[in-house]
Structure 1
């Protein structure tokens, strides 16, 4: 793989004198088949036309080369990649941390934050962290998690049910579609 720009990865194609195969199948600049030619002759034809000889299918027998403007080809590839990245929608996973003894009003504020994240289209990871002797009474944390679930049923779906991971009770809420 060859990196053209920091965000674009283009497979490294062999061009002109980098092609070391004896014979290649050649495709002309307009897409017409020129047949199987010795690489030297194919390179010479490309030079006469003012183009480059680019190996487009190295694994076929014989390898397929195309006569084209390599600089223009790389430019078009980068434009296509840029367009496809522009239309992608990235979803982030936001995180809200709670404690087993989180007060009612504080919990309402956190739930409001989660609602905001879900309305923006982001998944939200909700975790209840236990410290010290709170591990002995895990039911308090489960009650906090159940109240969060009850308040979010209208705008989110539980993607990952509440589950213990180490000293944390964790769940993931996804926006409803």
Structure 2
């Protein structure tokens, strides 16, 4: 048993909206399907909600006067959760695909990796292409930069360069983001 339960403490999650008796304003604007969209004193607004066996919920506390809605509070909370869930699902998660080159990558390998990058960009993923310099190949920095610039140039119709090639440690990287497809009318 936790020390909170022993002493009689109960943790409550605070409600995001004030309802019924918790509303402290003297006058409120009552809106909703079964309301007249007018300003009422708080007692008459509570009576209106009580007569309909519903709750008076303060939706916009910062308005002057505060805006309240006559609705079933549990149903309202459920709909709010549902909306939040939909918004979360619609937000797109960015996928970054990496393509690795060496400073001495030949044309066939380059074309093979280029085709993969085209597919990634068409699917809406970002592409991070990098040249990894191992050992003494660091002396071929120019070759790596030329390779990445050629790569970006080949993909300019599908993607735009977010970051120009830059050397970080033993890697020279370039970032490409997919171009937004224009809807055909």
Cα distance in 2 for residues equivalent to 1:170 and 1:41: 67
Query: Normalized against structure 1, the TM-score is what?
Result: 0.73
Q: 1:12 aligns with which of 12, 16, 30?
A: 16
Cα distance in 1 for residues equivalent to 2:150 and 2:64: 65
Q: Tell me which residue corresponds to 1:112.
A: 115
**Pair 1:57-2:60 in alignment:** yes
Q: How does 1:82-93 map to 2 (within 5 A)?
A: 91-93=94-96
Q: Tell me which residue corresponds to 2:41.
A: 37
Cα distance in 1 for residues equivalent to 2:99 and 2:35: 56
Cα distance in 2 for residues equivalent to 1:154 and 1:73: 47
**Structure 2: gaps of 5 or more residues:** 1-14
Task: Give the number of aligned pairs.
Answer: 165
Q: Tell me which residue corresponds to 2:137.
A: 134
CA RMSD of aligned residues (A): 2.9
Q: How does 1:15-30 map to 2 (within 5 A)?
A: 15-19=19-23, 21-27=24-30, 29=32, 30=34
How far residue 88 of structure 1 moved from its aligned partner, in angstroms, is 5.8
**Structure 1: gaps of 5 or more residues:** 1-10
**Pair 1:121-2:124 in alignment:** yes
In the TM superposition, structure 1's runs of 4+ consecutive aligned residues that sit over 6 Å from their partners are none
The structure whose residues are more often strand, as a share, is 1
Secondary structure of 1:56's partner? Answer: strand
How far residue 51 of structure 1 moved from its aligned partner, in angstroms, is 0.6
Secondary structure of 1:107's partner? Answer: helix
Query: Does structure 2 conserve the Cα–Cα contact (< 8 Å) formed by 1:28 and 1:68?
Result: no
CA deviation vs aligned residue, 1:69-115 (integer Å, no higher than 9, x gap)? 22332344445455556666655332212222334333222112101
